């Protein structure tokens, strides 16, 4: 592919309103925008999905920058990349650091598709020209404020309402949503690992509300207790934090640890691995949906492309730009085309332009790396 240089830009994009989970409270997204240039001047874009602090997983924006600079960019420059699938093969000797790997890999996918003049969605084998999407709502200071947000997003047509829960903020908000909006609302809860099997009585109470699923109720590194829990409740368990690879997905399915998997490109180390997980789940009749890490428009575009694959049958967390930002860094911004539906762009690669003036407005640090092998 003749990759000539890589540019890293660190941005801090303020969120419209704070996003709280059982792990952390975020007021802005601190991330790295990576641009990969080939010899013809074409450019592919990727975005780091790690958070600023290591509460969701072990990575942070700083560790992603470090891994890119010290190991991943040199490895990319050192090898001949014929196809984006080669990138993760080159990175395989490096353990973990999936979000760092995915940052660069996603940019190579975009560049590759631009070189071929095709959209990322079509190159991945996606067949949809629009996708159903949902919204993930953080823990709100009060149940009333939460109900207000649910009301707003239902009015915007979002096809899945996901609410964050934690011990002490679980049964009451779910009951309040059911009481106010009824049993037909496609509703799910995400615990971000806040419970253990000792809390089985509470989870059994949650089991009464006909939730679409409960996401990652138990430990971030567990599959055994999730399998035990799944035998005790009707509500499907969806794994997020526990799944880092296609092998993890296979094992979780074999163990009965979940009935649904949330695929996040960053968490699993890139698009090539995300597609493998999709394929395994499809074969085993495990539906998947695309999770999110509060990405800017660049990561969002990758998520949209991935979601066009056929086994993404449940609406994901890829909401419109205006659910997160006053101003996104892509043009056009990601907007709902119809209520709860995003249109898949048809242009080459991710199909969105980057608004450089907006990028520069939120830029905090920048560095360029040149491939000395290419002259």
Q: Under the rule (CB under 6 A), what is the footprint of ligand OSB?
A: 21, 56, 136, 190, 192, 240, 291-294, 317, 319
In the complex, which residue's CB is closest to ligand OSB?
Answer: 292
Residue 297: which of Mg ion, ligand OSB, none does it interact with, CB under 5 to 8 A by kind?
none
Residues 158-197, mask of contacts with Mg ion (x by CB under 5 A): --------------------------------x-------
CB of 3 to Mg ion, least distance (A): 33
Residue whose CB is less far from Mg ion, 111 or 188: 188
Beta bridge partner(s), residue 48: none
240 is in an annotated binding site: yes
Residue 35: which of ligand OSB, Mg ion, none does it interact with, CB under 5 to 8 A by kind?
none
**How far is Cα 299 from Cα 72, in angstroms, rounded to an integer?**
19
144 is in an annotated binding site: no
Site for Mg ion in 219-278 (CB under 5 A): 240
Whether 61 contacts 31, CB under 8 Å: yes
CB of 41 to Mg ion, least distance (A): 39
CB of 21 to Mg ion, least distance (A): 8
Residue whose CB is less far from Mg ion, 215 or 273: 215
Torsion of CA 13, 16, 17, 23, to 10 degrees: -30
**How far is Cα 292 from Cα 21, in angstroms, rounded to an integer?**
13
Alpha helices in the chain (DSSP H): 61-67, 73-77, 85-91, 98-116, 120-124, 143-155, 171-181, 200-206, 224-232, 246-255, 271-283, 297-307, 356-361
Q: 327: which DSSP letter?
A: S
Catalytic residue among 114, 164, 199, 275: 164
Mapped onto helix, strand or coil, the DSSP state of residue 262 is strand
For 371, list phi and psi in degrees, rounded to 5. -85, 110
Residue 136: which of ligand OSB, Mg ion, none does it interact with, CB under 5 to 8 A by kind?
ligand OSB
Tell me if residue 164 is catalytic. Answer: yes
Q: 312: which DSSP letter?
A: B
190 is in an annotated binding site: yes
**How far is Cα 362 from Cα 332, in angstroms, rounded to an integer?**
18
CB of 291 to Mg ion, least distance (A): 6
**132: its two tokens:** 């159903």
Count residues near Mg ion (CB under 5 A): 3
Residue 20: which of Mg ion, ligand OSB, none does it interact with, CB under 5 to 8 A by kind?
none
Residue with tokens 């303020």: 14
CB of 15 to Mg ion, least distance (A): 17
In the complex, which residue's CB is closest to Mg ion?
Answer: 240
Residue whose CB is less far from ligand OSB, 49 or 371: 49
For the stretch 237-252, what's the b/e string if a residue is b when 16 or more beta carbons lie within 10 angstroms of its beta carbon? bbbbbbbbebebbbeb
Residue ranges at the known binding site for Mg(2+) = 190, 215, 240
- Residues interacting with Mg ion, by CB under 5 A? 190, 215, 240
Active-site positions?
164, 264
């Amino acid at each position: 592919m003749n990759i000539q240089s890589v540019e890293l830009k660190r941005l801090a994009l303020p969120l419209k309103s704070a996003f709280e989970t059982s792990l952390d409270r975020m007021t802005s997204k601190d991330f790295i925008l990576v641009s990969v240039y080939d010899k013809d001047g074409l450019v592919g874009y990727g975005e780091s999905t790690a958070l600023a602090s290591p509460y969701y997983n072990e990575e942070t924006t700083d560790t992603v920058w470090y891994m890119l600079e010290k190991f991943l960019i040199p490895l990319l420059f050192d090898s001949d990349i014929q196809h984006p699938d080669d990138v993760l093969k080159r990175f395989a000797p490096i353990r973990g650091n999936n979000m760092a790997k995915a940052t660069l890999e996603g940019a190579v996918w975009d560049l590759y598709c631009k070189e071929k003049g095709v959209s990322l969605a079509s190159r991945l084998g996606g067949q949809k020209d629009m996708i159903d999407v949902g919204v993930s709502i953080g823990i709100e200071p009060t149940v009333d404020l939460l109900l207000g947000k649910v009301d707003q997003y239902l009015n915007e047509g979002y096809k899945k309402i996901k609410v964050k829960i934690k011990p002490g903020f679980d049964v009451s908000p779910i009951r309040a949503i059911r009481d106010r909006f009824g049993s037909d609302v496609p509703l799910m809860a995400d615990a971000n690992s806040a419970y253990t099997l000792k809390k089985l009585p509470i989870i059994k109470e949650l089991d009464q509300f006909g939730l679409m699923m409960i996401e990652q109720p138990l430990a971030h590194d567990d599959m055994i207790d999730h399998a035990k829990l799944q035998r005790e409740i009707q509500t499907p368990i969806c794994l997020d934090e526990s799944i880092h690879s296609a092998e993890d997905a296979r094992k979780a399915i074999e163990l009965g640890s979940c009935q649904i998997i949330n695929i996040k490109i960053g968490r699993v180390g890139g698009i090539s691995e995300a597609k493998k997980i999709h394929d395994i789940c499809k074969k085993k009749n495990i539906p998947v949906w695309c999770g999110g890490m509060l990405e800017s428009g660049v990561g969002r575009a990758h998520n949209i492309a991935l979601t066009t694959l056929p086994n993404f049958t449940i609406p994901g967390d890829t909401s419109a730009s205006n659910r997160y930002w006053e101003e996104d860094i892509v043009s056009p911004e990601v907007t709902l085309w119809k209520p709860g539906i995003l249109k898949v762009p048809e242009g080459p690669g991710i199909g969105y332009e980057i608004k450089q003036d907006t990028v520069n407005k939120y830029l905090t640090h920048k560095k360029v790396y040149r491939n000395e092998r290419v002259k």
